[in-house]
Structure 1
């Protein structure tokens, strides 16, 4: 049972799957017949909100940048861009449609001084522009996180040498070693050179030699 649940979670937590599930929930529940049925039947109403909330949480949990998932930032930007496109398209359809999609949902629009069609157009506009800005902002956040973590990885090896010309990074351990390199060239490696190499291969940082 545990293995089955882990396999299911591993599958649905893939960025592609999470994006498709979230997009499918949005479009399916905006089909007029299903939307109207959800307004009339309590079970469908709860199912509608549960599926939209569940797939939305899954979508953002999978795609938002966090430590340990730097390599997935590029894919996250692509999925966020795709989601902004299809949700924006749905919003545009609601804005430009001359027909009221959800007549049963038009109750109360007059409280805001709007006709039912204007209320639908306003909802589509909100889905199109403000929601699109949220997806775009999340994509920019992912790009910034990606660039920041990448620059840190590239600067780490150089920071050792930039602080001191006699410091260098061991190719074996990736750690900073500090030694009198010119004295090694002056006297030759010999026996002392062997201990010098051993220190650089050690997980401990090399101490500075005095010549």
Structure 2
């Protein structure tokens, strides 16, 4: 259970700086709402760490360590969990209230670092094993029910996950919704939940696509077009002649930036590092696609043999 202890101390260290940074807040209503969101975040992170550690312990107790979930996958989940904790509980969360660029860093960590690492850790398997046998059977029956399969099918497909990710990303960057998230903590919480949830769907469909050339091909196209439209959004933010979001018109000055400079920096953060993540992911799946049976050199030998007249 060392992973659970590490998670506890990470939560403690991440939460303390936020409380210190919140000491300058002048709006008691917003501060109370912010603490409610923080408590929900801490509880969610703690529960996920406990479920994963408990399930992993039970799974590995049945066989040698690494069975079902490999050590590197457990390490990936831990890395993704700590990235999410850093994005949501560190002072970055408070800086995002004054800097659009900090807000972009927070979102990029959630969607392009934490989400894919968590998916690589196979949390569904670990969470399922956290329950006793009777509970696992009931959950299994629920997940196998026709109505649940029909509900999840559109989102489990690469195209459905792609569409969900695109809609969530673009909708929340519309000024009316983005500004609502800066003024109201409940809307801000909803923004983070939908960003992270859409990213989990996207990376789950993308990273789980290695079951045939067709699925890998669709995933590759979905990833490429996601890189294109998210980079386009970053470029629009970077080259916009005016600032899109009114709340940062005054607060960016606290950091020695104008609102338009802050927005340009945030656009570049979405455009360049975000594009690099999708590029790397695309190269990985592209290499997997090329390495499948139809492209292996040993499968080309019969063709050469036939071309030589069967000799």
Which of 229, 232, 239 is the aligned partner of 1:89? 232
Match of 2:287 in 1: 144
Rg larger in structure:
1
Give runs of aligned pairs for residues 36-185 of structure 1, distance below 5 A: 36-64=179-207, 67-105=210-248, 108-110=251-253, 112-150=255-293, 155=298
Rounded Cα–Cα distance in structure 1 between residues aligned with 2:287 and 2:208: 10
- Deviation (angstroms), 1:106: 5.0
Shift of 1:149: 2.5
* Deviation per residue, 1:91-142 (Å, 9 max, x gap): 1111111111112145653454322211100110111121111111111110
Give the structure with the higher percent helix. 2
d(CA) in 2 for partners of 1:69 and 1:58? 19
Identify unmatched segments of 5+ residues in structure 2: 1-141, 303-311
SS in 1 for 2:211: coil
TM-score by length of 2: 0.47
Query: Does the CA-based 8 Å contact 1:25-1:52 persist in structure 2?
Result: yes
C-alpha deviation, 1:90, in angstroms:
0.6
1:15 aligns with 2:158: yes
Distance 1:106 1:139 in 2: 37
Q: Are 1:29 and 2:172 an aligned pair?
A: yes
Cα distance in 2, alignment partners of residues 40 and 111 from structure 1: 18
In the aligned structure 2, how far is the partner of 1:83 from the partner of 1:157?
A: 34
Q: Tell me, in whole angstroms, the C-alpha distance in 2 between the residues paired with 1:153 and 1:71.
A: 17
* 1:106 and 1:119 in contact (8 A); partners too: no
TM-superposed CA distance for 1:8, in Å, is 1.1
Provide the C-alpha distance between the structure 1 equivalents of 2:266 and 2:232, rounded to a whole number of angstroms: 13
In structure 1, C-alpha distance between the alignment counterparts of 2:281 and 2:248, rounded to whole Å:
31
Please give the TM-score of this superposition, normalised by the length of structure 1: 0.67
